[in-house]
Amino acid sequence: MTCTEIRLTDAGLEAARIEQPSPGPGEVVVATRAAIVGPTDLEAPNNRVICGEFSGEIIDVGPGVDRGMIGTAVAVLGFRPGGTCDRCLDGASTACSDLQLRGDSIDGGLANAVLVGAHEVLPLPAGLGCEAAALMHRLARALRAIRRSTGRPGDHVAVLGGGPLALATSLVSLSAGFGRTAFVHDHARCRDAVASNGARAVAPPGNGAGWDELRTWLGGYGPDVVFECGGTPESRLAAIDLTRPAGSVVLVADDATRVPMDINLLVMGDKRVQGARVYTAGEARATLELMARSRIKVSALIGETVEVNAFLAAARNGSLQSRLAGCEATIVRWPRDTAVGA
């Protein structure tokens, strides 16, 4: 039996027919029904199956896996810990030194047969479909950040940084019982989406007076917690500066750029900085439950939904890049029995 996968090559996105993978012990094969594609997917390593965020239906299982799982709709974890480093052996797999990200260091999910570990899939709660569930990864990262913060109900918070992770973090924070929430983002449509759900959404202030006005709105001294989702040195320094004395900053975005800073900003302000890169399976399950109960406004995260063949056509005619420019998700639907043009 054959299947189709979509890889990024030197020639662009290409669909190819391959033999459907056979699951080994403890493995399952997932037929993707929905995948999230964004600008970073078009920057993936060469010859990589793209899309690290996806959900689908189990179509085959290997030895040791309950065959009753076949036909189950699942979300797939967006990463794979190595499992052998000291951190993993100590139970801290979220800090794994050999962490592999789907669609980057390992193949992603834009295929109608994806081989994954049975422990890497999560059955969907009743009422949650595959298209919404494909957003689990970014929302679970946001939930992880909130749980790692010192924030308590009633605390004022701010979310800084561009991109879809900032949008997801804002929407999850609005469901967490915080007091006032400020969303600082350079994309007007994303600001509108968050403002309609109860936050104050502003463009990044261009001067000190603008930041002071935001501090005043957030209690006078600034927010109790800032979630930094931009990943740039400028955004991270702004987050530390904005946070009130004795407040905390959670760094959510990945970035290897070193941040030059005066450490006394932390010492004299008694501020705490916390990282939150990936999530646990338990946090992923909690995210799916929140989504199923409509505690998170998933619709605000979705910009466009396209069929897989229309997605490929856009990639080939050069219109895809401009359609991925926003911070909302583009969902690629892959319905059952769809023939994909190679």
Query: What tens digit of pLDDT does each residue of 128-139 get?
Result: 999 999 999 999
CB 339 within 8 A of CB 314: no
| pLDDT for the residue numbered 93 | 87
pLDDT at 148 over 90: yes
Q: Cα(36)–Cα(21) distance, rounded to whole angstroms? A: 22
Query: What tens digit of pLDDT does each residue of 319-332 get?
Result: 888 888 777 899 99
| pLDDT for the residue numbered 110 | 96
Residues whose CB is less than 8 angstroms from the CB of residue 238 and which lie 6 or more positions away in sequence, other chains included: 160, 204, 211
| pLDDT for the residue numbered 258 | 85
pLDDT at 289 over 60: yes
pLDDT at 341 over 80: no
| pLDDT for the residue numbered 166 | 93
**How distant is the alpha carbon of residue 98 from its chain centre?**
19
Q: Cα(298)–Cα(135) distance, rounded to whole angstroms? A: 8
| pLDDT for the residue numbered 162 | 79
pLDDT at 168 over 80: yes
Provide the pairing of β-strand 100-101 with 79-80.
antiparallel
Q: Cα(171)–Cα(195) distance, rounded to whole angstroms? A: 10
pLDDT at 230 over 80: yes
Query: What tens digit of pLDDT does each residue of 181-220 get?
Result: 999 998 888 899 899 988 999 999 988 899 999 999 998 9
Q: Cα(205)–Cα(321) distance, rounded to whole angstroms? A: 28
Provide the pairing of β-strand 27-37 with 53-61.
antiparallel
Provide the pairing of β-strand 27-37 with 114-117.
antiparallel
Say which residue, 90 or 249, is predicted with more confidence: 249
Give the chain's domains with CATH numbers: 2-134+300-333 (3.90.180.10), 139-275 (3.40.50.720)
Residue 255: pLDDT band by 50, 70, 90 thresholds? confident
CA distances from residue 315 to 4, 44, 230 in whole angstroms, order as listed: 16, 15, 27
Residue 78: pLDDT band by 50, 70, 90 thresholds? very high
Q: Cα(27)–Cα(5) distance, rounded to whole angstroms? A: 19
> Which of 223-227, 300-304, 323-327: highest mean pLDDT?
223-227
Q: Is 153 exposed, middle or buried (0-12, 13-18, 19+ CB in 10 A)?
A: exposed
| pLDDT for the residue numbered 290 | 96
Of 118-127, 148-157, 288-297, 322-331, the least confident = 322-331
Beta-bridge mates of residue 36:
53, 331
Beta-bridge mates of residue 160:
184, 228
Residues whose CB is less than 8 angstroms from the CB of residue 46 and which lie 6 or more positions away in sequence, other chains included: 8, 9, 10
pLDDT at 339 over 90: no
| pLDDT for the residue numbered 208 | 87
| Helix (H) / strand (E) containing 286 | helix 281-292
Q: Cα(335)–Cα(328) distance, rounded to whole angstroms? A: 22
Per the prediction, the chain carries an average pLDDT of: 92
- CA Rg, the chain, in Å? 21
CB 144 within 8 A of CB 278: yes
Picking from 341, 340, 338, 307, the residue whose alpha carbon sits closest to that of residue 131 is: 307
Query: What tens digit of pLDDT does each residue of 26-50 get?
Result: 999 999 999 999 888 888 888 899 9
Q: Is 339 exposed, middle or buried (0-12, 13-18, 19+ CB in 10 A)?
A: exposed
pLDDT at 146 over 70: yes
Q: Could you please report the per-residue DSSP string of 49-109?
A: E--SEEEEEEEEE-TTS-GGGTT-EEEE-SEE--S-SHHHHTT-GGG-TT-EEBTTTB--S
| Helix (H) / strand (E) containing 158 | strand 157-160
> Which of 82-91, 146-155, 189-198: highest mean pLDDT?
146-155
pLDDT at 342 over 70: no
Q: Region 78-96: what's the mean pLDDT?
A: 90
pLDDT at 280 over 90: yes
Read off the DSSP letter of residue 336: T
Task: Return the amino acid letter for 290.
Answer: L
